[in-house]
Amino acid sequence: MGLRIYFHTLSHESDPNKLEEVSTLRANNTKLSLENANLTRDSKNLEDQLGNLTQAYTVSESYVRDLYAGVQVLSKLNQELETEKNNLNQKIQDMTRNWNELNISRAQWSIDSYCLGNTDKKCQPCQKGWNLTQPSCYAYNDPPPSGWKTWEEAREDCSGNNSDLAVAHTPAEKEAINENRLGVYGFWIGLRVEDGKWKWVDGSDLTESSWIPAPVPADGHCAVFYRGKWFSVSCGATRQWICQKKALSV
């Protein structure tokens, strides 16, 4: 107000110097007003930027906290995995040691079974109690009826002797099975019905359909060898059984 009155008073002065001063003051006033407006605007922008930065900092701080928590979780998980890896390595070492010991035991068992006690002091292709028909050894398990087994039980028994139920892919192998025509009710062999087809225990199909009648019913039947012929019998029945394994090369 004082500046306005001063300007007004000066405007009525006739002194050229005074008039020039008034003009200069007015120009400065306009310039200052503009600068003040710019500063006000800049101040507002800075306040907005400060608010945005504050918000961003808050979000970043929360993110850092989450990251730190995640790092802690990952560190714990890494420790657990490291412990599990060490445990697995220990188990592998134990299993390797046990496997080596088992191999040694098997090797000794093979020597005892195939070599010791023979009168000619030579190792034999088959264990005692097994019949040789190259290239396989056959064991005819013929206990009394109280000791007969289902097809699955018979196969499990063969597995316990490092063998499987007998198979025949060629007429010669079929004849090898037929060589001992023993038993009254027959012996299980490694043939059963799967998905309506006869299959051997090694996963192959029976290629000679004339060797045994077509599977009826479709599933649940297994093959029995009896006096040179093969018959289809329920796998749940109990019979004697024939095991087969590869003969040793001696």
Q: Is residue 213 part of a domain?
A: yes
Same domain, 160 and 56: no
**14 part of a folded domain:** yes
DSSP code, position 68:
H
Residue 48 lies in a domain: yes
Give kind and range of the element (H or E) at residue 245: strand 240-246
- CATH number, domain with residue 224: 3.10.100.10
Q: Are residues 73 and 164 in the same domain?
A: no
User: Which of 56, 84, 99 delimits the end of a domain?
Assistant: 99
| Residue 92 belongs to some domain of the structure | yes
Same-domain check for residues 135 and 94: no
Q: Are 159 and 196 in contact (CB under 8 A)?
A: no
- At 229, list the tokens: 């012929």
- Give residue 12's pLDDT: 52
What value does the CA radius of gyration of the chain take, rounded to a whole number of Å?
Answer: 50
Domain that holds residue 193: 131-246
User: How far apart, in whole angstroms, are the C-alpha atoms of residue 99 and residue 82?
Assistant: 25
**Residues 82, 138 within the same domain:** no
Task: Please indicate, yes or no, if residue 55 is contained in any of the structural domains.
Answer: yes
177: left (phi over 0), alpha (psi -120 to 50) or beta: alpha
Could you read off the pLDDT tens digit of each residue along the chain, which spans 250 residues?
Answer: 444 544 455 455 557 777 788 788 888 888 888 888 888 888 888 888 888 888 888 888 888 888 888 888 988 888 888 888 888 888 887 786 666 555 544 544 556 666 655 565 677 888 888 988 888 999 999 899 999 999 999 999 999 989 999 999 998 888 888 776 566 678 999 999 998 889 999 999 998 888 888 776 568 999 998 877 889 999 999 999 999 999 887 6
Distance CA 63, CA 78 (A): 22
CA 78 to the chain's CA centroid = 21
Does residue 233 sit in the same domain as residue 160?
yes
Mark whether 61 and 164 lie in a shared domain. no
Residue 126 lies in a domain: no
164 and 92 fall within a common domain? no
Is 216 part of a structural domain of the chain?
Answer: yes
Asked, for residue 123, whether it belongs to a domain, the answer is no
Q: Which of 190, 175, 85, 184 is nearest to 133 (CA)?
A: 175
Q: Are strands 221-226 and 229-234 parallel, antiparallel or unpaired?
A: antiparallel
- Encoding tokens for residue 166? 């007998």
pLDDT at 15: 73
For the chain, how many residues are written?
A: 250
Q: How high is the pLDDT of residue 240? A: 94
141 and 236 together in one domain? yes
Number of domains in the chain: 2
